[in-house]
């Protein structure tokens, strides 16, 4: 990722998110990742790592790194790929969120859109914890 694109990404993220619901933890090109804390409507804070090694040319991997492990309402693991729960195979005990299908991806997608999708995923995850219904009941794709 070029420095110009990195600057555009930073401006977009800070423009679209309020400090209360979004906080940068790390954003640099040395270890290509964006680490953020996102607060849901319930007040719970999640830490998300978006790996940027091949960004913007491919879909960035997004992991919920805290809390971990995330479990379903029935206390089952979410580390396996699941269409119903909109997850891919997790790594290091962290759930990998499915946020963009590779066929829908193009290099002009900015990180703020990825962050929005992850925030929606988190809200639906919390709804799942209350209702027991899978995320696919609320999310399309």
The chain-wide mean pLDDT, for the chain, equals: 89
Residue-wise pLDDT tens digits, 45-81? 999 999 988 899 999 999 999 999 899 999 999 999 9
Residue 36: name the closest of 89, 115, 99 by CA. Answer: 115
Sheet holding 45-51, edge to edge: 22-28, 33-39, 45-51, 62-66, 94-97, 87-91
Residues above pLDDT 90, as percent of the chain: 66
8 Å CB contact between 93 and 71: no
Using pLDDT thresholds of 50, 70 and 90, give the confidence band for residue 110: very high
Task: Please state the rounded mean pLDDT for residues 13-28.
Answer: 67
Looking at residue 20, its pLDDT comes to 57
Looking at residue 53, its pLDDT comes to 85
Residue 40: name the closest of 128, 121, 141 by CA. Answer: 121
At 60, list the tokens.
Answer: 């960035």
Helix (H, G, I), strand (E, B) or coil at 51: strand
**Domains defined along the chain, listed by start:** 3-134 (3.10.110.10)
Q: What value, to the nearest 5°, has the Cα angle with vertex 100 and ends 107 and 8? A: 40
How far is it, in rounded angstroms, from Cα 34 to Cα 71? 24
Global confidence as pTM: 0.90
Looking at residue 24, its pLDDT comes to 59
At 40, list the tokens.
Answer: 């849901």
């Amino acid at each position: 990722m070029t420095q110009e694109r990195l600057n555009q990404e930073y401006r977009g993220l800070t423009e679209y998110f309020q400090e209360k619901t979004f906080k940068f933890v790390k954003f640099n090109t040395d270890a290509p990742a964006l680490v953020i804390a996102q607060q849901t409507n319930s007040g719970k804070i999640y830490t998300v790592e978006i790996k940027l090694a091949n960004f913007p040319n491919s879909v960035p991997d997004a992991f919920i790194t805290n809390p971990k492990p995330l479990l379903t309402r029935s206390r089952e693991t979410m580390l396996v790929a699941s269409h119903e729960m909109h997850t891919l195979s997790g790594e290091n005990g962290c759930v990998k969120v499915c946020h963009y299908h590779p066929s829908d991806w193009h290099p002009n997608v900015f990180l703020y859109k990825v962050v929005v999708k992850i925030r929606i995923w988190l809200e639906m995850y919390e709804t799942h914890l209350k209702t027991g219904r899978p995320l696919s009941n609320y999310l399309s794709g």
